[in-house]
Amino acid sequence: MASHLAIRLVLSTLAILLTLDAAASPLRAVAASVASVTTEDLLRRMALAAPDDCSVPAASAASSADVSDLENQLFEAAKVQVAEGLNDHSSASNAGSRAISALREVERSSAEIDKSWPTEDRFHFKALDLPPGILVEMTYRAHASLVLFGSFYLDQYESVDPGTKWREVDFIDPSDPPSAIDLFPLHRGPDGHARFLARVWQSGCAGSIGEDYYGYEWTPDHGQSALEIIKIEGAEGLDEAASTHVGRLSTTGKTIQLPYCFFSAVDTWDNPTLCAADSFDLSGDNPHFAGRVYNRPDLVAVAKAVQYAKAHDYIALRGYCASDAVAAKLVREVPPDLFADEIDTAKSGPARETILLADGTVRFDLIKRRSNWLVERFKIAAGSP
């Protein structure tokens, strides 16, 4: 994998350099030898860029698209550098120390080249020993990259570089790229396979923030591919305090719990109204979902009813309705642009309540049966859009 990454790095660098106007900016300068591109070369090309995507770049700096391409190349070049260090068997140090040493070289270069930037925007890394692998998070400017290195055999029929050596392990990449990543080792289970969780943050210069969880399992027997065992895609609004969270983040032990919020049909602004916490049982060789709790189970029924009614998915909708008649009415009458705007809740007993949306023009009467809230009646006020 290391040689493949190096080849891709050279080719992608060549493609970018051929399309750049060398006179436009020092960031676009054509290197004398593309084949000799290094992390230090890439850092110098980006030195005149803004330290993050939301700052105003210098007049001489390249476009944000060019900087993004070079930034991705930097992460790829750092991966190659780490892989080479891991496979340097002349060193007496262990694999983890060799990986850290390679990453520290990049960090030192960034500290010098990017000394005018805020410290947090320079290149940094975290390395997590995850036997038999090494998990690395790299950050630069406002972006992060995640890579798992493992030593495994690559079949000669699948690669021009077969044999057992340290390589990048493939998994579904949670990058767009992410703004930040938190890493957690997970309980291994009876078979002892390495497991880890990545809590991934996606953010731009304004608006809501993505808050996702991705869990993976890997063993050298899996070869180049890690298995995804957890996937949750959530969000945070502009005002985190406006969302009522439930549960608590717990990543140790045989049962873990992951809290998150998510956008739905009952949001009143750019803040998720609904939040949940999912639990997973990691005690066995095959991790499995163990349960979910919501902050507002009553509003879940309304949100799901609106979601499936808009999609005309009667079968899914029926699971949130007390009768066939109300499900059919929802499919016919829910407007495609329904937005909660405001939510009012009126209790009429321990198992009954009314939810009013859009200034009270949309009404849901709910009933609780066997601990589940269902839509019993639905009404849109006359003259409402």
Torsion of CA 175, 26, 18, 174, to 10 degrees: 0
Judged by average pLDDT, the poorest of 223-227, 274-278, 322-326 is: 223-227
SS3 per residue for the chain: CHHHHHHHHHHHHHHHHHHCCCCCCHHHCCCCCHHHCCHHHHHHHCCCCCCCCCCCCCCCCCCHHHHHHHHHHHHHHHHHHHHHHHCCCCCCCCHHHHHHHHHHHHHHHHHHHCCCCCHHHCCEEEEEEECCEEEEEEEECCEEEEEEEEEEEECCCCCCCCEEEEEEEECCCCCCCCCEEEEEECCCCCCCCEEEEEEEEECCCCCCEEEEEEEEEECHHHCCECEEEEEEEEEECCCHHHCCCCCCCECCCCEEEEEEEECCCCCCECECCEEEEEEEECCCCCCEEEEEEECCHHHHHHHHHHHHHHCCCHHHHHCCECCHHHHHHHHHHCCCCCCCCCEEEEEEECCEEEEEECCCCEEEEEEEECCEEEEEEEEECCCCC
> Taking 70 as the threshold, does the pLDDT of residue 17 lie above it?
no
> Taking 50 as the threshold, does the pLDDT of residue 256 lie above it?
yes
How does residue 272 score in pLDDT terms, banded at 50, 70 and 90? very high
pLDDT of residue 50: 84
As a whole number, mean pLDDT of residues 319-340 equals: 94
pLDDT of residue 370: 92
> Taking 90 as the threshold, does the pLDDT of residue 192 lie above it?
yes
Percent of the chain with pLDDT over 90: 61
Whether 223 contacts 209, CB under 8 Å: no
Indicate yes or no: pTM above 0.85. no
pLDDT digits (tens, 9 = 90+) for 139-184: 999 899 999 999 888 765 555 555 678 999 988 766 567 888 999 9
As a whole number, mean pLDDT of residues 303-317 equals: 96
- Mean pLDDT (the chain, rounded): 85
How many Cβ atoms from other residues are within 10 Å of residue 24's Cβ?
14
Q: Which amino acid makes up residue 349?
A: G
Nearest Cα neighbor of 292 from 303, 278, 282, 304 is 278
Q: What is the Cβ-side half-sphere exposure of residue 252, based on CA atoms within 13 angstroms? A: 0
pLDDT of residue 51: 87
As a whole number, mean pLDDT of residues 69-91 equals: 90
> Taking 90 as the threshold, does the pLDDT of residue 88 lie above it?
no
